[in-house]
Amino acid sequence: MALAKRIIPCLDCDRGRVVKGVQFVDIRDAGDPVEVSRRYGEAGADEITFLDITASHEDRATTVDTVRAIAGQVFIPLTVGGGIRTLEDIRTMLNAGADKVSINTAAVQNPEFVRESAERFGSQCIVVAVDAKRVSAEDEPLRWEIFTHGGRKPTGLEVIEWVRRMVSYGAGEILLTSMDRDGTKIGFDLELNRAVSEAVNVPIIASGGVGNLDHLADGVLLGAADAVLAASIFHFGEYTIREAKAHMASRGIEVRLD
């Protein structure tokens, strides 16, 4: 009897449409984030993460409408990330029905923003997203640095120290993406995940690199993740959420099956 480890499908959306494609067998509109989210909710997903990659500010009004529509039909927690830069952005998303917001670049540019956000809205809804890249040489102790702009821009910030600081400012959860592993399908950076999970007392969501169900289980068992996030293995119908949970359960992990 324990808290279940969570499985979180992630939807990347551009101007209100799911990008990278979702290929469920029997879905009417695989580009509709509302329908995709609803299906994931019914399929047993523990949360949904909605990542807005809309480039232009003008098109972001669409995102708010989409979040509102998802929240009206999906009765599991919803995290919204991408372009969250001001307290007003957070208020808008929470009012639209998001349960949490994920802050990434804005935290790097202005760490105090995380503190202000947590004070205003509570730590429970402030997720800090961390894009980490291994920067240590082969013969050095492991070291990771924060990168922005999709892993292209180094910041000089050391990951463990940064995450501790974000938690001390009030971050309630860390969404940890390995930029080395993202898109590779060879599994999470387990050493990174374990190091971060042991460094702080808030839940860690492992992200980046999932290619099969053992990767999800490894994230929990070896990476000490509290939740695992994946996109393509679910979107392309390689595995269902239930298959993923059954596999994790078979490896001794508590999951929500009811």
Partner 1 sequence: MNQVAVIDYGMGNLHSVAKAIEHVGAELASESGQATKVIITSDPARIAAADRVVFPGVGAIRDCMAEINRLDVGAMVASAMKTKPVLAICVGMQALMAHSEENGGVDCLGLLSGRVKFFGEVLRDENDARLKVPHMGWNRVAHTSDHPLWRGVPDNSRFYFVHSYYVTMDETDQVAGRSVYGREIVAAISAGNIFATQFHPEKSQNAGLTLLRNFLTWNGASD
- Binding stretches for partner 1 (CB under 8 A): 1-6, 41, 46, 68, 71-73, 75-77, 94-99, 121-125, 172-173, 201-203, 226-227, 256, 258
Instruction: Select which of 14, 46, 131, 226 is catalytic.
Output: 131
List the Cα angle 241/100/37 in 5-degree steps. Answer: 35
Q: How far is CA 12 from CA 56, 87, 178, in A?
A: 15, 22, 17
Instruction: Select which of 12, 46, 52, 189 is catalytic.
Output: 12
Nearer to partner 1, 179 or 225 (CB): 225
Q: In whole angstroms, how close is the CB of 202 to partner 1 at the nearest point?
A: 6
In three-state form (DSSP H/G/I as H, E/B as E, the rest C), the secondary structure along 144-168 is EEEEECCCCEEEEEEHHHHHHHHHH
Nearer to partner 1, 6 or 215 (CB): 6
Nearer to partner 1, 70 or 159 (CB): 70
Query: Looking up tokens 């995940």, which residue turns up?
Result: 193
Nearer to partner 1, 13 or 125 (CB): 125
Q: In whole angstroms, how close is the CB of 99 to partner 1 at the nearest point?
A: 6
Query: Looking up tokens 């920067």, which residue turns up?
Result: 135
- Could you tell me the sign of the dihedral formed by the alpha carbons of 215, 218, 223, 225, in that order? positive
Q: In whole angstroms, how close is the CB of 164 to partner 1 at the nearest point?
A: 14
Nearer to partner 1, 3 or 137 (CB): 3
Q: In whole angstroms, how close is the CB of 32 to partner 1 at the nearest point?
A: 18
| Residue 32 known to be catalytic | no
Nearer to partner 1, 167 or 179 (CB): 167
Q: In whole angstroms, how close is the CB of 6 to partner 1 at the nearest point?
A: 5
| Residue 99 known to be catalytic | no
Q: In whole angstroms, how close is the CB of 74 to partner 1 at the nearest point?
A: 9
Catalytic residue numbers read 12, 131
